[in-house]
Amino acid sequence: MTASVREPTDRLRPRAERRVVRVRCVEIGGGSPVSVQSMTNVDSCDVEATVTQIERLVRSGCEIVRVAVPHRDAVAALREIRARVDAPLVADVHFDHRLALAAIDAGIDKLRLNPGNIQNADHIARVADAAGTAGIPIRVGANSGSLAKRFLDASGRPTARGLADSALEEVHQLERRGFDRIVVSVKGADVSMTVAANRRVARETDHPIHIGITEAGTAWEGGLRSAVGLGILLTEGIGDTLRVSLTGDPVAEVRTAFAILRSLGLRQRGITWHICPTCGRTRIDLLRLADALQAALDDVLESLTIALMGCSVNGIGEARDADVGVVGGDRRAAVYVEGQQLHHAVGEDALPSLVESEVRALLSRRSIARQASAGNARSV
């Protein structure tokens, strides 16, 4: 049986009351913006492929990147990767504490340990001492699929309590060692179990919390499951950093993460799309327009709202409220920019390039205005 998501939420510490942990240039906890993480999925020993993927992730908005360290050869590659990228790097280590020690020596910015497969107290103490000397945090990351047997129920299955207790036990070991740069993570593929486990962790510790739904699946189903689970937790004030775990290109994880955060008003990075679901009044190919614009504007990380509406019923109001808006008619459309109608009857074939050009022009004007404002501020 899975845990109920109705476990009491009293005594949860708000984000601002959680301790602050720094991962290179990114602060986690203490009310800092919820940061977005992802993980490379190419061979960690392939330095070129890993560096290329990290650079793509950073361009997409990823703020912390995790790299798997499954063996000693990966440690050697990690040292070179560290020298070539500025992004905050997390070493993902399982089973062998010596890999964790070597990854710290390679210059990583944060370490992920799994209490389900590194349990020896002496080994944990050695890692804690090395991380403390290096001044880097440790993420205690417990997963429902790799819990130690003592945290499973009588039938050998994971529970929300066992998942939380597994992480908290290792947290307490680190604390007894005098180590307090800790991020806690409890994840499962089951949304209800994950939510309940995170609520327990949020009540029992003030360390920052990394949230996610693990093994969520491909972009469509995995995105939905992540949005449900993370949406519940974030709405309750749980979660200081997150990863959306999707099968495939990790850049999709970053885009989905920011979409979730934007929808809750927690981050304002990238484009928020208001797109009409269409009905019998729609007379333009709105899906084609949306696909074309989302592909063309994929690189935009600035906060922006674009409304693509099929008719004038709600369209005019949505378009006026957006930074850039389109209101469809009979195989043509009107285009609004910052509440003003700039184009009246644009043929639908010309819409993608015209709307993109208006978006780029708007972003350019805003960039110039910011630079002028910054220049004025410096001169005062």
Residue 2 lies in a domain: no
Task: Read off the pLDDT band of 138 (50, 70, 90).
Answer: very high
The answer to whether the CB of 291 falls within 8 A of the CB of 273 is no
pLDDT tens by residue, 90-101:
999 999 999 999
Q: Where are the alpha helices (DSSP H) in the chain?
A: 47-59, 72-84, 97-105, 121-134, 160-176, 191-204, 219-235, 251-263, 286-296, 312-321, 351-379
Residue where a domain stops, chosen among 223, 241, 263: 263
Residue type for position 324: V
Residue 198 lies in a domain: yes
Cα–Cα distance, 192 to 313 (Å, whole number):
39
Residues 234 and 95 occupy one common structural domain = yes
Give residue 373's pLDDT: 84
Element of type H or E holding 27: strand 26-28
Give residue 9's pLDDT: 44
Residues 229 and 339 occupy one common structural domain = no
Give residue 379's pLDDT: 72
Residues 191 and 327 occupy one common structural domain = no
- Residue closest to 34 by CA, chosen among 244, 218, 179, 298: 244
User: What's the number of domains the chain is made of?
Assistant: 2
Residue where a domain stops, chosen among 239, 263, 287: 263
Residue 5 lies in a domain: no
- How far from 125 is each of 169, 174, 237, CA to CA, in Å? 13, 7, 31
Residues 292 and 369 occupy one common structural domain = yes
Give residue 40's pLDDT: 97
pLDDT tens by residue, 265-324:
999 888 999 999 999 999 999 999 999 999 999 999 999 999 999 999 999 999 999 999
Element of type H or E holding 37: strand 35-39
Cα–Cα distance, 207 to 201 (Å, whole number):
9
Residue where a domain stops, chosen among 230, 263, 296: 263
Residues 121 and 190 occupy one common structural domain = yes
Residues 53 and 134 occupy one common structural domain = yes
Residue 195 lies in a domain: yes
Predicted confidence (pLDDT) at residue 60 exceeds the cutoff of 50: yes
- What's the average model confidence in pLDDT over 23-38? 96
Residues 232 and 318 occupy one common structural domain = no
Q: Which domain holds residue 177?
A: 15-263
Show the tokens assigned to 358: 């208006």
- What is the domain-level CATH number for residue 309? 3.30.413.10
The answer to whether the CB of 7 falls within 8 A of the CB of 199 is yes
- What's the average model confidence in pLDDT over 125-143? 95
Q: Is the dihedral of CA 62, 68, 69, 74 positive or negative?
A: negative
Residue 318 lies in a domain: yes
The answer to whether the CB of 258 falls within 8 A of the CB of 269 is yes
Give residue 266's pLDDT: 94
Cα–Cα distance, 294 to 195 (Å, whole number):
32
Give residue 16's pLDDT: 84
Residues 238 and 184 occupy one common structural domain = yes
Rounded percentage of the chain residues whose pLDDT exceeds 90? 86
Task: Read off the pLDDT band of 1 (50, 70, 90).
Answer: very low
Residues 256 and 298 occupy one common structural domain = no
Residues 187 and 56 occupy one common structural domain = yes
Residue 4 lies in a domain: no
Residue 6 lies in a domain: no
Residues 250 and 110 occupy one common structural domain = yes
Residues 296 and 243 occupy one common structural domain = no
- What's the average model confidence in pLDDT over 57-69? 96
